[in-house]
C-alpha cells in the first residue's frame, strides 16, 4: 500500500498533551508549518493562552482529559464542526511516576494507565472511527518511549504503560492494514528528553529532585520526528541513541544490563535542583504548563544522528556504502603496499 500525505500546511491535526514539553514544542512547530491545530490538554487557561499565541483563526482549544472516552469523542466532533475534517491525530498526552513499584499506591498505577494507555486507546479508536466516516484515510501518531523496549528502574509504571502503548499500536496497525484502510500509524519513541516530565511526575522517591539519566535531548527533536511522521509512512521513529542501545543490550545480555541499571539507575535519576514552583505532580490534575524545557537538567543535545538516519534512509544507505567502499579501497592499498 502506497500512501500519499498532504503537506503540513494543508492538514488539520489533533494534538493531545499540547501545553507542555514535547506537545508544546510540536504545537509550535506544526503551527509554523501552517497546519490548523486542534489543541487538547486538561488546563483550560494554558490552552487558551497557547491558542492566542499560535493564532485563534487556525487553532481550536478543547480542554479534555483523554482518560475519558466520551470527552475524546467530543474533541473529534468539535474538530469537524470547526474545520470540516481531520487529517492527523497525535496522541501525546502523558504523565509519569518515580518510585519503586511496591511503593506506588495502586490508585496511582491505575491513574497513570488511564492517561498513558487508555488515553492513546481512546484517541486511536476515535480517530479510526472518524477516518472511516471520512473515507478510510488518515494518519495516527502515538507517543511511545524507548522505555517500551527496556523498563527503567524506579519508573516501572511508566515503562509498563509504554510497553502497552507499543503493543496496542502494533496490533491496530496490522488490523487496519488487514481491513484495507489507508491509515498510517507511527510510533515515536523518545529517549531521555529535557521536558518538564521530571518536575511534573508524581514522586515517591526520597528526594525532591528527579532528573533524566544522561544524555538528554531537546524536545524540538521529538517535535521534528512527529512532524515527519505526519507526512511519511514511518513505522517507528526513535529519538536518541542511548536508550536504543540499552534496549539492544538487554536483548543480548539481559542480566548484565539489569546489573548496570541496579548499580547506576537510582544515582542517575537523583538531582540537586527542586522542581520550579507549581510544577510538581500532574498525575490527577493539571500543573504549571507552557514550558517546553525542564529546569533541572544539564544542556540537552540538539541533534540525533539516529533520528536523521531514520528520516533519510536513502541518504544514510548511500553514505554507508561510500564509507564501506572507502574502507575497502584503503584495505586494498594497505595489502598492496605490504606485498611490495
Q: Active-site positions? A: 158
d(C-alpha 91, C-alpha 305), whole Å? 25
H-helix or E-strand spanning residue 239: strand 236-239
Instruction: Evaluate whether 217 touches 176 at the Cβ level (below 8 Å).
Output: no
CA geometry: angle at 36 spanning 32 and 39, to 5°? 95
Q: How far is CA 103 from CA 98, 203, 232, 255, 262, in A?
A: 10, 10, 42, 24, 17
Torsions phi, psi of 312, nearest 5? -130, 65
Q: Facing residues of 89 across strands?
A: 14, 140
Distances (CA, A) of 55 to 7, 83, 133, 180, 281: 19, 15, 29, 37, 30
**66 burial class (0-12, 13-18, 19+ CB within 10 angstroms)?**
buried
Of 123, 133, 74, residue with least CA distance to 94:
123
DSSP string, 124-185: HHHHHHHHHHHTSEEEEEEE--GGGTSPPTTBHHHHHHHHHHHHHHHHHHHHHHHTT-EEEE
Sign of CA dihedral 48, 49, 53, 54: negative
- Among 127, 42, 144, 143, CA closest to 86: 127
Q: Are the C-beta atoms of residues 222 and 20 closer than 8 Å to each other?
A: no
Q: Which of 30, 25, 66 is nearest to 239 (CA)?
A: 25
Amino acid at each position: 500500500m502506497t500512501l500519499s500525505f498532504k503537506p503540513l500546511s494543508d492538514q488539520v491535526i489533533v494534538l493531545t498533551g499540547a501545553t507542555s514539553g514535547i506537545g508544546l514544542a510540536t504545537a509550535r512547530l506544526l503551527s509554523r508549518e501552517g497546519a490548523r491545530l486542534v489543541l487538547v490538554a486538561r488546563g483550560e487557561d494554558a490552552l487558551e493562552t497557547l491558542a492566542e499565541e499560535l493564532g485563534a483563526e487556525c487553532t481550536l482549544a478543547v480542554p479534555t482529559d483523554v482518560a475519558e472516552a466520551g470527552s475524546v469523542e467530543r474533541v473529534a466532533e468539535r474538530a469537524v464542526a470547526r474545520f470540516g475534517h481531520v487529517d492527523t491525530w497525535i496522541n501525546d498526552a502523558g504523565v509519569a511516576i518515580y518510585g519503586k513499584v511496591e511503593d506506588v499506591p495502586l490508585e496511582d498505577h491505575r491513574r497513570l494507565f488511564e492517561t498513558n494507555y487508555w488515553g492513546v486507546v481512546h484517541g486511536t479508536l476515535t480517530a479510526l472511527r472518524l477516518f472511516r466516516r471520512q473515507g478510510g484515510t488518515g494518519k495516527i501518531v502515538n507517543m511511545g518511549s524507548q522505555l517500551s523496549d527496556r523498563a527503567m528502574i524506579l519508573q516501572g509504571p511508566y515503562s509498563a504503560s509504554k510497553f502497552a502503548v507499543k503493543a496496542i499500536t502494533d496490533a491496530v496497525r496490522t488490523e487496519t492494514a488487514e481491513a484495507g484502510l489507508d491509515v498510517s500509524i507511527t510510533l515515536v519513541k523518545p529517549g531521555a528528553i529535557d521536558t518538564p516530565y521530571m518536575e511534573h511526575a508524581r514522586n515517591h522517591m526520597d528526594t525532591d529532585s528527579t532528573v533524566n539519566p544522561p544524555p538528554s535531548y531537546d524536545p524540538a527533536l521529538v517535535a521534528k520526528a512527529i512532524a515527519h511522521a505526519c507526512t511519511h509512512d514511518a513505522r517507528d521513529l526513535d529519538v536518541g541513541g542511548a536508550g536504543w542501545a540499552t534496549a539492544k543490550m538487554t536483548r543480548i545480555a539481559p542480566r548484565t544490563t539489569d546489573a548496570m541499571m541496579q548499580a547506576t539507575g537510582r544515582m542517575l535519576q537523583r538531582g540537586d535542583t527542586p522542581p520550579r514552583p507549581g510544577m510538581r505532580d500532574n498525575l490527577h490534575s493539571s500543573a504549571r504548563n507552557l514550558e517546553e524545557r525542564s529546569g533541572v537538567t544539564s544542556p540537552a543535545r540538539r541533534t540525533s544522528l539516529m533520528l536523521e538516519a531514520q528520516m533519510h534512509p536513502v541518504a544514510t544507505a548511500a553514505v554507508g556504502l561510500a564509507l564501506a567502499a572507502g574502507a575497502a579501497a584503503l584495505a586494498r592499498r594497505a595489502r598492496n603496499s605490504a606485498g611490495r
